[in-house]
Structure 1
Amino acid sequence: MPPQEIRKVVFIGGGTMGSFNSLVAALAGYSVWVYDESAEALDTLTERHRAWGDILGERWGVPKDRIEEGLLRIRKTLDPVEAAAEADLISESVFERLELKRQVHRFFDEICPPKTILTTNTSTLLVSEIAAAVKRADRFAAMHFHQPSILADLMAGPRTSPETMEALKQYLKSIGMTYVIVKKERAGYLHNAMYTAFLGAALMLHILGGISIEEIDRSWMISQNATAGPFAHLDHVGFNVVVDAFSERSDPEDPLIPIRDAVKAFFAPYLERGEWGAKSGKGFYTYPNPAFQGPAFLENRVVNPLVPQTLLNTVQATALELLVEGVGDVRDIDRSWMIPHGTAVGPLGMIDEKGLDVFLKELEERADRDPLFAPKFPSLADYLKGKIEKGELGVKSGKGFYTYPEPAYLHPDFFFSTE
Structure 2
Amino acid sequence: MTSAFSTSSSAYAPHNVKNITVFGSGLMGAGIVQVAAQNAFNVTMVDLNPEALKKGQDIIASSLKRVAKKQFPEDAAQQKTFIDKTMAQIKTSTDSEAASKDADLIIEAIVENLKTKQQLFSMLDKVAPEHTLFCSNTSSLPIGEIAKATKRTDRFGGLHFFNPVPQMKLVEVIRTEETSQDSFDSLMEVCTRMKKTPVSCKDTPGFIVNRLLVPYMMESLRIVERGEATPQDVDVAMKLGAGFPMGPFELADFVGLDTMKFIVDGWRKEGKIDDNLVAPVKLLDDLVAQGNFGRKSGQGFYPYNGVGGKK
Corresponding residue number in structure 2 for 1:391? none
Corresponding residue number in structure 1 for 2:56? 45
5+ residue gaps, structure 2, are 1-8, 73-78
Tell me how far 1:56 sits from its aligned partner: 4.7
Counterparts of residues 171-190 of structure 1 (less than 5 Å): 171-182=190-201, 184-190=202-208
Of residues 28, 48, 59, the one that matches 1:17 is: 28
1:75 aligns with 2:91: yes
Give the count of matched residue pairs: 287
Tell me how far 1:209 sits from its aligned partner: 4.6
Tell me how far 1:269 sits from its aligned partner: 3.7
In 1, Cα distance between the equivalents of 2:176 and 2:135?
Answer: 10
Post-superposition CA distance 1:276-333 (Å, at most 9, x none): 221222222222489xx88xxxxxxxxxxxxxxxxxxxxxxxxxxxxxxxxxxxxxxx
Of residues 247, 254, 268, the one that matches 1:236 is: 254
Q: Say if 2:257 and 2:293, in contact at 8 Å, map to a contact too.
A: yes
1:5 aligns with 2:16: yes
Taking structure 1 as reference, are residues 198 and 53 closer, same or farther at Cα in structure 2, changes over 3 Å only?
Answer: farther
In 1, Cα distance between the equivalents of 2:225 and 2:86?
Answer: 45
Of residues 284, 293, 296, the one that matches 1:279 is: 296
Give the helix-richer structure, 1 or 2: 1
Q: Say if 1:127 and 1:142, in contact at 8 Å, map to a contact too.
A: yes
In 2, Cα distance between the equivalents of 1:279 and 1:68?
Answer: 30
Counterparts of residues 264-275 of structure 1 (less than 5 Å): 265-275=282-292
SS in 2 for 1:124: coil
Tell me the amino acid that sits aligned with residue 246 of structure 1.
V
Tell me the amino acid that sits aligned with residue 158 of structure 1.
E
Corresponding residue number in structure 2 for 1:116? 132
Tell me how far 1:226 sits from its aligned partner: 4.2
Counterparts of residues 16-415 of structure 1 (less than 5 Å): 16-53=27-64, 56=67, 61-63=70-72, 64-65=79-80, 66-146=82-162, 147=165, 148-182=167-201, 184-249=202-267, 250-255=269-274, 257-258=275-276, 260=278, 262-263=280-281, 265-288=282-305
Q: Say if 1:202 and 1:216, in contact at 8 Å, map to a contact too.
A: yes
In 1, Cα distance between the equivalents of 2:293 and 2:55?
Answer: 19
Tell me how far 1:144 sits from its aligned partner: 0.9
In 2, Cα distance between the equivalents of 1:50 and 1:274?
Answer: 30
Post-superposition CA distance 1:35-93 (Å, at most 9, x none): 112443212112221343366568xx545442442122212222211221211101111
Tell me how far 1:176 sits from its aligned partner: 0.5
SS in 2 for 1:282: coil
Tell me how far 1:212 sits from its aligned partner: 1.6
Tell me the amino acid that sits aligned with residue 284 of structure 2.
F
- The normalised TM-score by structure 1 is 0.63
Tell me how far 1:261 sits from its aligned partner: 5.4
Taking structure 1 as reference, are residues 76 and 288 closer, same or farther at Cα in structure 2, changes over 3 Å only?
Answer: farther
Compare 75-84 and 267-276 and name the one that shifted more: 267-276
Post-superposition CA distance 1:310-363 (Å, at most 9, x none): xxxxxxxxxxxxxxxxxxxxxxxxxxxxxxxxxxxxxxxxxxxxxxxxxxxxxx
Q: Say if 1:216 and 1:229, in contact at 8 Å, map to a contact too.
A: yes
Taking structure 1 as reference, are residues 188 and 50 closer, same or farther at Cα in structure 2, changes over 3 Å only?
Answer: same
Q: Percent identity?
A: 25
Tell me the amino acid that sits aligned with residue 157 of structure 1.
T
Taking structure 1 as reference, are residues 237 and 245 closer, same or farther at Cα in structure 2, changes over 3 Å only?
Answer: same
Q: Say if 2:27 and 2:56, in contact at 8 Å, map to a contact too.
A: no
In 1, Cα distance between the equivalents of 2:250 and 2:191?
Answer: 29
Q: Say if 2:15 and 2:189, in contact at 8 Å, map to a contact too.
A: no
SS in 2 for 1:75: strand
Tell me how far 1:180 sits from its aligned partner: 0.8
Taking structure 1 as reference, are residues 67 and 211 closer, same or farther at Cα in structure 2, changes over 3 Å only?
Answer: farther
In 1, Cα distance between the equivalents of 2:85 and 2:16?
Answer: 22
Compare 96-105 and 206-215 and name the one that shifted more: 206-215
Q: Say if 1:105 and 1:133, in contact at 8 Å, map to a contact too.
A: yes
In 2, Cα distance between the equivalents of 1:273 and 1:40?
Answer: 28
Tell me how far 1:246 sits from its aligned partner: 2.0
In 2, Cα distance between the equivalents of 1:85 and 1:119?
Answer: 16
Tell me how far 1:17 sits from its aligned partner: 1.1
Tell me the amino acid that sits aligned with residue 96 of structure 2.
P
Tell me how far 1:251 sits from its aligned partner: 4.2
Tell me the amino acid that sits aligned with residue 84 of structure 1.
S
Taking structure 1 as reference, are residues 110 and 196 closer, same or farther at Cα in structure 2, changes over 3 Å only?
Answer: same
Corresponding residue number in structure 1 for 2:5? none
In 2, Cα distance between the equivalents of 1:110 and 1:248?
Answer: 29
Tell me how far 1:121 sits from its aligned partner: 0.9
In 1, Cα distance between the equivalents of 2:66 and 2:218?
Answer: 27
SS in 2 for 1:142: strand
Q: Say if 1:98 and 1:248, in contact at 8 Å, map to a contact too.
A: no
SS in 2 for 1:280: coil
In 2, Cα distance between the equivalents of 1:69 and 1:272?
Answer: 45
Taking structure 1 as reference, are residues 267 and 79 closer, same or farther at Cα in structure 2, changes over 3 Å only?
Answer: farther
In 1, Cα distance between the equivalents of 2:217 and 2:265?
Answer: 15
Q: Say if 1:231 and 1:284, in contact at 8 Å, map to a contact too.
A: yes
In 2, Cα distance between the equivalents of 1:208 and 1:95?
Answer: 33
